[in-house]
Amino acid sequence: MEHERKQTRAWVLHPEIKSDSGRRDPAPALAEAVALAAALPDLDVIGSGVVRLPKAHAGMLFGSGKIEELASILKANEIELVLIDGPVSPVQQRNLEKAWKVKILDRTGLILEIFSDRAATREGVLQVEMAALSYQRTRLVRAWTHLERQRGGLGFVGGPGETQIEADRRAIDDQLVRLRRQLDKVVKTRTLHRASRAKVPYPIVALVGYTNAGKSTLFNRLTGAEVMAKDMLFATLDPTMRRVELPDGPEIILSDTVGFISNLPTELVAAFRATLEEVLAADVILHVRDISHHDSKQQADDVEGILASLGVDENRVRIEVWNKLDQLPEEEAEARRQRAEREDGIHAISALTGEGLDGLLADIAEKLQGVRHEEVLTLTFAQGKQRAWLFKEDLVQQEKQTETGFDVTVLWTDRQRAKFDRL
C-alpha cells in the first residue's frame, strides 16, 4: 500500500505596506497567494491573512506587537511553514524563523518551488535549477550560523582562511557555470529547430497571458492536443507547439507559453527568457485574458510589463482575447461581446464552450495574409553585411552565385524587409 505524502501545515500572509506605491488590492492579492500555495501538493494551507503595515521594518519586516500576535496564532495552529507574499530579505527571514520557530518562504521562493515541481522538459528543469541557485546565492548572507565560521588554509596559503559562506557561494557559482553550459547545448538544439521552422512558410502565433487565464484550454481547443489544463496557477510550464490549419487561411504554428504572474521573480524572467523567445519570434501574439477575473485589468498590465521587459516590439501584431465568457452572468457577458465587436483587435470568447472562436480564427488569418512573402534579391559582392544579416535571421531559402554577386531567395515579413532596407 502506497504511503501518503506528509502534508506541511502552512499559513499565508500578505503584507500590505502603505509606503509601497505599487501595492495591489490586498484581498485578490491574498487570494492569489493562497492559490499559489495550493499549487504545491505537499502544502496544507490552514489559514491566511492580510497584515497592514505603515512601512516594512528592516530587521523583522513586521512590528514587534504583530510578531507576538502572529506567533501565538501560528503556535495554536501547529504551523510548520509561513508563506509571505512579497520579498523577504535574508536577515528578515532568519529573524522571523527564530521568533516563530517555523520555516519562512517568500513569494520568489514559493514560485521557484512550484516551477521546480512542474518543470518537465530538460530545458525547463535546467532553467528552474539555475533560477533557484541564483536565488539561493542571495540567501547566503549570514543566513545560517555555520556560514559565519572560517575554514583554515592548508598551510601553504596565507591569510585567515576562507569563510564557509565564501566556499558555499563559490560552489553555487561553479554549479551555475556547469548548468549554463548544459542549457546552452539544449538552447542550441532548439535554435536549430526554430531555424528549420523559419524556412517553412508557417507563421508563428504565440499565446501569452496571466497564469490560469485559459491559454492551455484554448490551445487544446484549437489544436486537438491534450496539454494539461487545470484551474490551477502554473498548470503548464514548458512551451508546447502544434501546427494548425486556419479555416480559409494559412497553416500556422501555435505556441502555448508559461503563464505570467505579478512580481514574477527576476531570476525566473532571466531563466525563462530562452523559453519565451518563441514570443519574440511570433508573427502574431494572442494575449489571453480571464475576463471574468475581478483583477483582469491589473493582470493584463502585468503581462504587458513582462512582455516589454523581454523586449517584445510594441508594434508586433497583437490580438486581445477575452476568455471565460461562460463564467460571467449573461448580462455582463453580452456587454463584453458588444464592446469586443466595436473595438478592433479584441475578441470575446469561451475556450471551454468554443464561443467566439470562428471570429478569432478569421481575424488571425486576415492579419497573417501577406505576413510572409517570398522575394528574390540581387546582391553584389560588396553587400556582405546585408547577406550576412539575411543568413543570421534565417530568411534565406535559396542562394545562387552570379558573376557580380548573389541571387538570394528570401522568405520574410514587411517588417524584416524594412529592417533590411535600413542596413
Predicted pLDDT at 388: 93
The C-alpha cell that represents 186 in the structure block: 539544449
Mean pLDDT of the region 142-158: 39
pLDDT at 318 over 60: yes
pLDDT, tens digit, for every residue of 228-238? 555 555 655 56
Above pLDDT 90, what percent of the chain?
33
Write down the pLDDT at residue 171.
81
Cα(205)–Cα(278) distance, integer angstroms: 9
Give the model's pLDDT for residue 5.
60
Average pLDDT over residues 255-277: 69
Using alpha carbons, select from 295, 292, 340, 305 the residue that is nearest to residue 320.
340
Does residue 1 register a pLDDT over 50?
Answer: no
pLDDT on residue 139? 72
Q: What is the mean pLDDT of the chain?
A: 81
Q: Which residue has the higher pLDDT, 227 or 160?
A: 227
- Give the model's pLDDT for residue 292: 94
Q: Would the pLDDT of 48 be above 90?
A: yes
Q: CA-to-CA distance for 360 and 222, rounded, in angstroms?
A: 11
Identify the residue with better confidence: 339 or 281: 339
Q: What is the mean pLDDT of residues 131-147?
A: 62
What's the confidence (pLDDT) of residue 62?
92
Q: Identify whether the C-beta of residue 110 lies closer than 8 Å to the C-beta of residue 64.
A: no
Of 65-69, 258-262, 288-292, least confident by mean pLDDT is 258-262
Residue 192 clears pLDDT 90, i.e. is over it: no
Which range, of 12-21, 96-105, 153-162, 346-355, averages the lowest pLDDT? 153-162
- Number of other residues whose CB lies within 10 A of the CB of residue 204: 21
Is pLDDT above 60 for 321?
yes
361-399 confidence digits (pLDDT tens): 989 888 886 566 789 999 999 999 999 999 988 889 999
Q: What is the pLDDT of residue 136?
A: 78
Q: How far apart are CA 407 and CA 48, in angstroms?
A: 67
- The grid coordinates listed for 207 are 499565446
- pLDDT tens for 34-47 read 988 888 888 899 99
Amino acid 300: pLDDT: 92
**Residue 286 has what pLDDT?**
94
Q: pLDDT tens across 196-221, in order?
A: 655 555 788 999 999 888 988 999 89
Q: Which residue has the higher pLDDT, 382 or 270?
A: 382
Query: What per-residue confidence (pLDDT) applies to 306?
Result: 82
C-alpha grid cell for residue 341? 465587436
Residue 412 has pLDDT above 70, yes or no: yes
For residue 2, pLDDT beyond 50: no
How large is the average pLDDT for residues 231-250? 69
Distance from C-alpha of 194 to C-alpha of 208, rounded to nearest angstrom: 19
What per-residue confidence (pLDDT) applies to 274?
56
C-alpha cell at 338: 458588444
The values of phi and psi at residue 275, to 5°, are -60, -40
Distance CA 12, CA 73 (A): 12
d(CA 18, CA 76): 29
- At 310, is the pLDDT very low, low, confident or very high (cuts 50, 70, 90)? confident
User: Which range among 119-133, 135-149, 252-266, 377-391 shows the weakest confidence by mean pLDDT?
Assistant: 135-149
Residue 262 pLDDT: 78
Calculate mean pLDDT across residues 113-136.
77
Instruction: Identify the pLDDT of residue 169.
Output: 75
